[in-house]
């Protein structure tokens, strides 16, 4: 699975290489300014190493999701509460374990989609598939804790 510090250091070291790598570095730094490295449970680098798509960085922490992205020279920061998930669907290729897609639908009808085949290059598909699996486990444990607390 991708290591957060290795990825951060990779892009930090290439901050001046090209526009995409500079943006990735800024987005990762922004996310860390908000959530602090020690509180990050999971992260998902969407469209990493995909030149034609904008980079989005998701951080999972304290039953929340932070999404930091860039569009037209502006950095956008969105917050989602895992408690507001209406449903989520995990789609897996039975013949290729590196192909997974997770769709998270929130009560306000906003949808987040994570796709290991479309969100990176050939070399990192298996890593993103592993992260998608961990995201599912995180959502399930969050939902289970909500159910238990409601029953008490």
Helix (H, G, I), strand (E, B) or coil at 150: helix
CA distance 133 to 53: 23
pLDDT tier at 99, thresholds 50, 70, 90: very high
CB-based contacts of 74, cutoff 8 Å, min separation 6: none
Q: Is the pLDDT of residue 87 over 80?
A: yes
152 pLDDT higher than 70: no
d(CA 132, CA 42): 10
Q: What is the CATH number of the domain that holds 59?
A: 2.30.29
Whether the CB-CB separation of 14 and 57 falls below 8 Å is answered with: no
| The two structure tokens encoding residue 60 | 């999972």
pLDDT level of residue 71 (50, 70, 90 thresholds): confident
Please give the residue that has the higher pLDDT: either 5 or 85. 85
pLDDT per residue as tens digits for the range 122-133: 999 999 999 999
Note every long-range contact of 95-99, with CB atoms under 8 Å and residues 24 or more positions apart, other chains counting. 97/126, 97/129, 98/125, 98/126, 98/129, 99/125, 99/129
How many other C-beta atoms are found inside a 10 Å radius of the C-beta of residue 142?
Answer: 17
Range of the domain at 137: 4-151
**Position 1 pLDDT exceeds 70:** no
The set of residues, in sequence order, having a beta carbon less than 8 Å from that of 83 and lying 6+ positions away, is: 63, 142, 146
Q: How many domains does the chain have?
A: 1
Q: What is the pTM of this model?
A: 0.86
Neighbours of 148 (CB within 10 A): 9
């Amino acid at each position: 699975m991708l290591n957060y510090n290795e990825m951060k250091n990779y892009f930090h070291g290439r901050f001046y290489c090209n526009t995409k790598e500079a943006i990735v570095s800024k987005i990762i730094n922004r996310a860390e300014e908000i959530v602090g490295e020690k509180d990050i449970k999971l992260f998902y680098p969407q469209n990493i190493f995909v030149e034609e798509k904008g980079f989005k960085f998701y951080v999972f922490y304290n039953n929340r999701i932070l999404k930091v992205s860039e569009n037209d020279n502006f950095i956008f920061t969105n917050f989602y509460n895992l408690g507001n998930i209406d449903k989520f669907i995990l789609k897996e290729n039975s013949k290729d374990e590196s192909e997974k897609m997770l769709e998270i639908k929130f009560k306000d009808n906003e949808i987040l989609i994570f796709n290991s085949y479309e969100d990176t290059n050939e070399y990192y598909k298996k890593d993103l598939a592993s992260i998608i699996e961990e995201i599912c486990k995180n959502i399930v444990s969050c939902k289970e804790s909500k159910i238990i607390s409601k029953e008490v």
